[in-house]
Structure 1
Amino acid sequence: MLSLKTARLLVRPCRLPVLTEIYLRGAQVGKMLNAVVPLSWPQPDLQEVLPYYIETLQADPEAYLWFFWVIIDRKQKILLGDTGFKGMPDKAGVVEIGYRILPEYRNQDIATEAVKALIEWAFQQAGVNRVVAECEATNNASIRVLEKSGMQQAMPDNEMLKWYVDRKV
């Protein structure tokens, strides 16, 4: 199983069977992830997008690397949140990243550590030239994560801020 290792985290992509078990809130999720899964996870916004991930991976199971990843504490083996991409890179080599940290684990630089690892991984993949993200203009915590992850702010779009980082040549 692919795992990105950082100082404190394991960041792992999830295949279709794991996503299905998460969606069904099945009892095997912790065993499948080899982690303790807090009762507060998955959060409602994740629960809403899981059907899209599942449907997409049913059509193309090998695309799992471009969707949903979990963030696990390396030492304690506790699920802290999730991250991933909103799909495969487009024709220009652009991929969008997102992340969610459970409230009890926020303000510990977990999101920054996971996002940096995922950006680094993305740039190791052929054809990826830019990683983008967006966040609400009022979400100061997310703004800090994106800044610390090396992203630059692009032009704002209404109430959303757009961010990007390009592959170093």
Structure 2
Amino acid sequence: MKSLIHTIKTAIFSILFLSLSISNAQIIYEDQLETIYLNKNAEEVVYTNSFSNFNNDLIATNKINFKSQIQKANQNNDRLLFLSERSNLQILTVTYLRTIRRGANQSNNPESFKAFINNKLPELINQFKKDNNLEELYIISRKNTFNGKIDALPSVL
């Protein structure tokens, strides 16, 4: 009889311990998980896309001075925002400008620039396909990078 009571107490204690450890594990990992949006829509509904507007503004200037743009964005602590029902992305404008400059400097053609940007900002791949302004952005930003200026020098050979 005592062993049966002891076994029941042990079982109850084990079940309580197991349920508490599972709920603690859930609390620990809950902060690390991202929100997943389940939707039957194949089309992504975009609420805010300041990346596209910023790209259009850069293209409209026709000459990007990365140093002054980065300083200005750094002083203002500007952020770019992309909100949709599938993803939320917010990065500093300084980081985005540096990504554009690095991509334009390291790329030799618009396709490799697009691949670089899509690799750095995978959340915006579908939007960059729709906007289709990365090629123009590459051409304008390439002129103002180190490798772009070297490419513009006349060939001596």
Q: Same fold (TM over 0.5)?
A: no
The one of the two structures with greater contact order (alpha-carbon pairs below 8 A, sep at least 6) is: 2
When normalised by structure 2's length, the TM-score is: 0.31
Bigger radius of gyration among the two = 2
